[in-house]
Amino acid sequence: MAFGLWFTLFELLLKLFLILAFVKKGSAGITSTFTRTKWQSFDIPLDHKVLAIPNGYNAPQQVHITQGDYDGKAVMISWVTADKPGSSRVQYGTSENKYDFKADGTVANYTFYNYKSGYIHHCLVDGLEYEIKYYYKIGEGHSSREFWFQTPPKIDPDSPFTFGIIGDLGQTYNSLSTLEHYMQSGGQTVLFLGDLSYADRYQYNDVGIRWDSWGRFIERSAAYQPWIWSAGNHEIEYMPDVGEVLPFKSFLHRFSTPHLASRSKNPLWYAIRRASAHIIVLSSYSPHVKYTPQWLWLRDELKRVDRKKTPWLIIIMHVPIYNSNQAHFMEGESMRAVFERWFVRHRVDFIFAGHVHAYERSLNV
Ligand SMILES: *[C@@H]1O[C@H](CO)[C@@H](O)[C@H](O)[C@H]1NC(C)=O
């Protein structure tokens, strides 16, 4: 066992050396002139305009969408109303101001310590056509709001698509710069690597308040293109001091995932197919050793991957299985121990992970 471990570390160091040697030779891997300031960034104050509550009584806020099925012909639209439940209806159509279709969703609320959430709506809009721009409208009367999204191309090896990768976003001024930078990039869908709002840095009612502000913060992108969610450690929110012991409570109420479409019984792990990619979402903080639900599900999902239809096989999760930084060193070992052999055998193209707040990549394994 010790030998195996050290061999892996050696491999990792060797890889790191190779990457460094490669990078030193030129500007390989640098695809942007964007450089973040090294100074610490602070959470954006609640009265800042990028966190503003939309005008109008009970106006929908925190609007975000995600893929609603396995193959990209459905969208789940989610939003919050603050004053009363209101309508969970989405009106939609293929031209602006003309909403020929409608779908009805669900509404729910929850508490966290003494915080009472707004009314959280989730509405599945399905039976869509590929490569069409849809306009949608939510809310009632003068408070209604309109957005749009574009469906992806069909599942096909020749379907081009641009994914963006964001993890560990938070709601600081650096988060804002990241989001604005992403929005200029032309990315069509975000693969989100966990750690969403960092609301768990707050206490008492401010935890819920900072989830709400984060929902408003990401709306500028997430209302118009799907963000594919995976959960990180900041979503666990195990806070027995304030009587909150149900892991992922805020995350699970606020963010929907299409887990049933990939036969997963748990929203924290699931898969989707989009254009030419098969994307598998794993949960670093849910049981994954042999015979656990996540292990059983992944074993079956890997068998469903059809490289003739989706040549790209991408996995996203929060904790990297290889990490040479001191920060979070070896935290992905339990996942590596059970899944690495499957990832190799199934020739996974990419594993994207967050958590470490440092850029690192390995050569092909
Ligand atoms: C949800 O909202 C209803 C209606 O306003 C309220 O009676 C109920 O207490 C709320 N539930 C939670 C869990 O906050």
pLDDT reported for residue 31: 66
pLDDT reported for residue 132: 98
Residue identifier of the C-alpha nearest atom 12 of ligand 1: 110
Residue identifier of the C-alpha nearest atom 3 of ligand 1: 109
pLDDT reported for residue 40: 77
Residue identifier of the C-alpha nearest atom 1 of ligand 1: 109
Token look-up 């709506």 returns 121
Instruction: Quickly count: other Cβ atoms within 10 Å of residue 222's Cβ.
Output: 23
**pTM: predicted TM-score of the whole model, two decimal places:** 0.90
Give the chain's mean pLDDT: 92
> What whole-number percentage of the chain has pLDDT above 70?
92
Candidate CATH numbers 3.90.79.10, 3.50.50.60, 3.60.21.10, 3.30.365.10; the one for domain 57-353: 3.60.21.10
pLDDT tens, position by position, 72-111: 999 999 999 999 999 999 999 999 989 999 999 999 999 9
Range 282-287 average pLDDT = 98
Residue identifier of the C-alpha nearest atom 8 of ligand 1: 109
Taking the CA atoms of 306, 193, 173 and 359 in sequence, report the sign of the dihedral they define: negative
Catalytic (active-site) positions: 328
Q: What is the Å distance from ligand 1's center to 69 Cα?
A: 30
The SS3 call for residue 178 is: helix
Token look-up 């471990």 returns 5
When pLDDT is cut at 50, 70 and 90, the band that residue 41 belongs to is confident
Q: What is the Å distance from ligand 1's center to 213 Cα?
A: 21
- Residue 71: phi and psi, rounded to 5, are -115, 10
Q: What is the Å distance from ligand 1's center to 119 Cα?
A: 9
Give first-to-last CA distance, the chain, whole Å.
20
Whole-number Cα distances in Å, 183 to 176, 214, 221, 272: 11, 17, 7, 23
Contact 210, 171 (CB under 8 A): yes
Residue identifier of the C-alpha nearest atom 7 of ligand 1: 109
Atom of ligand 1 nearest to the CA of 117: 14
pLDDT reported for residue 38: 75
Pocket of ligand 1 (CB under 6 A): 109-111, 116
For residue 23, pLDDT beyond 60: no
Q: What is the Å distance from ligand 1's center to 109 Cα?
A: 6
Mutate to test the pocket of ligand 1, among 116, 117, 119 (most ligand atoms within 8 A of CB): 116
Range 53-67 average pLDDT = 98
Q: What is the Å distance from ligand 1's center to 160 Cα?
A: 45
Nearest to 86 by CA among 62, 111, 114, 105: 105
DSSP-derived secondary structure for 81-143: ESSS----EEEEESBTTB--EEEE-EEE--EETTEE--EEEEEEE-SPPTT-EEEEEES-GGG
pLDDT tens, position by position, 154-213: 999 999 999 999 999 999 999 999 999 999 999 999 999 999 999 999 999 999 999 999
Domain boundaries, the chain: 57-353
**Between residues 38 and 131, which one has the greater pLDDT?**
131
Taking the CA atoms of 186, 77, 121 and 315 in sequence, report the sign of the dihedral they define: negative
